[in-house]
Amino acid sequence: MSVTSRYREAWEGFWREAPDGQGAVFWDAEPALTAGLHLALFEPYITDPVLPLVDLGCGNGTQTRFLADRFSHVLGVDLSEAALDHARQSDPAAQATYRVLDAVEKGEAESLHAELGDSNVYVRGVLHQCEPDDRQPLMNGVAALLGERGRGFLVELSEAAKPVLVGLAQSPSGPPPKLAPVFRHGIAPGEVSDDALPEYARAAGLTVLASGELPLTTTEYDADGARIELPSKWLVVGRTA
C-alpha cells in the first residue's frame, strides 16, 4: 500500500504555500529546542554511529542540517517534493542529501535499505499526522530501514496535546497564524493513543529500548507571549536490545 493521493496533495499544497526560512511553519522550531534535545536522549542507544542517519519526514530540512553536523551521512526523506525543494534551497552547502520517499509503501523502504544498508532513523511528529490505516505500515517502513543494527528515535504528540490544539484552533481570535495553514490544508494532527505508539513498534518486530515524555516546542506564542509547547511521547526502538 501507499499513502492516499489526498494526503500527498495536502502536503504538497502546504509546502508550496509555506514561506522559506527556518521557523516559518508551526513545528519548525530551532534545533537546539528539538533535534538537539532528542539527540541527547537518542545517542546513548546508538550502537553504530557510522551508519547512515535517515530523517524521516524531514520537511524543510531544519533538523536534517543539524543532524548532518553530527553524523557523516544524513539523508532527509519526505513525501512532499515541495518540502524537499525548501530543504535543498536552505542547504546550499549540501550538508545532507534529500529525496522523496513514501515510507508507507513497503517496497520503497526496502529499496532504500538495500541501497544504504542498516540505518539509524529519526522521526519527529509523522505518525500522528498519518491516516490511521497508514500508521502500522509506516512503522514497518521504519523497521525495514533500521535492519538489524539501526536504532530509531520517534517523537509524537501525546493524547494530552489534543485539548491544547483544539483550544488554539477554537480561539476567539482564530488559530495562531502558523497553525492556520495546517488546518486549512487538511493535515491537522490525528489521534494516536499513548499506548498505541509502542504497540506499533512491537508489531513491526522492534523492541522499545527507552521511552519518556518531553514538550514538543513550536514556533508560535500564546497570548501571554510564552512559546507554545505540545506534550509529546518519545521512544527509542531497535531490532535487538
The 10s digit of each residue's pLDDT in 132-161 is 899 999 999 999 999 999 999 999 999 999
Return the CATH number at 9: 3.40.50.150
Measure the CA–CA gap between 128 and 201, rounded to whole angstroms. Answer: 14
Q: Give 4's pLDDT tier (boundaries 50, 70, 90).
A: low
The mean pLDDT value for 67-94 works out to 96
The mean pLDDT value for 54-81 works out to 97
In the structure grid, which three cell numbers stand for residue 200, read together?
506499533
Mean pLDDT score of the chain: 93
What's the distance, Cα to Cα, between the start and end of the chain in Å?
Answer: 30
CB atoms within 10 A of CB 140: 19
The 10s digit of each residue's pLDDT in 29-45 is 999 999 999 999 999 99
Per-residue DSSP letter, 213: E
**Which amino acid, one-letter code, is at 217?**
T
Pairing of strands 227-238, 207-221: antiparallel
Q: Has residue 176 got a pLDDT over 90?
A: no
Residue 125 phi, psi (nearest 5): 65, 35
pLDDT for 222 equals 83
| 3-state DSSP assignment of residue 232 | strand
The C-alpha cell 527509542 sits at: 236
Q: Has residue 1 got a pLDDT over 70?
A: no
Measure the CA–CA gap between 207 and 84, rounded to whole angstroms. Answer: 31
- What is the distance of C-alpha 80 from the center of its chain? 13
Q: How many distinct structural domains can be found in the chain? A: 1
pLDDT for 6 equals 82
H or E stretch covering 121: strand 120-124
The 10s digit of each residue's pLDDT in 98-114 is 999 999 998 999 999 99
Assess contact for 115 and 15: CB atoms under 8 A.
Answer: no
Q: Has residue 3 got a pLDDT over 80?
A: no
CB atoms within 10 A of CB 94: 9
Residues 91, 151, 217, 165, Cα dihedral to 10°: 110
CA distances to 124, 128, 157, 197, 230 from 164, rounded to whole Å, are 19, 15, 11, 20, 7
Pairing of strands 97-100, 120-124: unpaired
Name the percent of the chain lying above pLDDT 90.
Answer: 76
Measure the CA–CA gap between 110 and 214, rounded to whole angstroms. Answer: 31
Assess contact for 11 and 139: CB atoms under 8 A.
Answer: no
What's the domain range around 163? 5-238
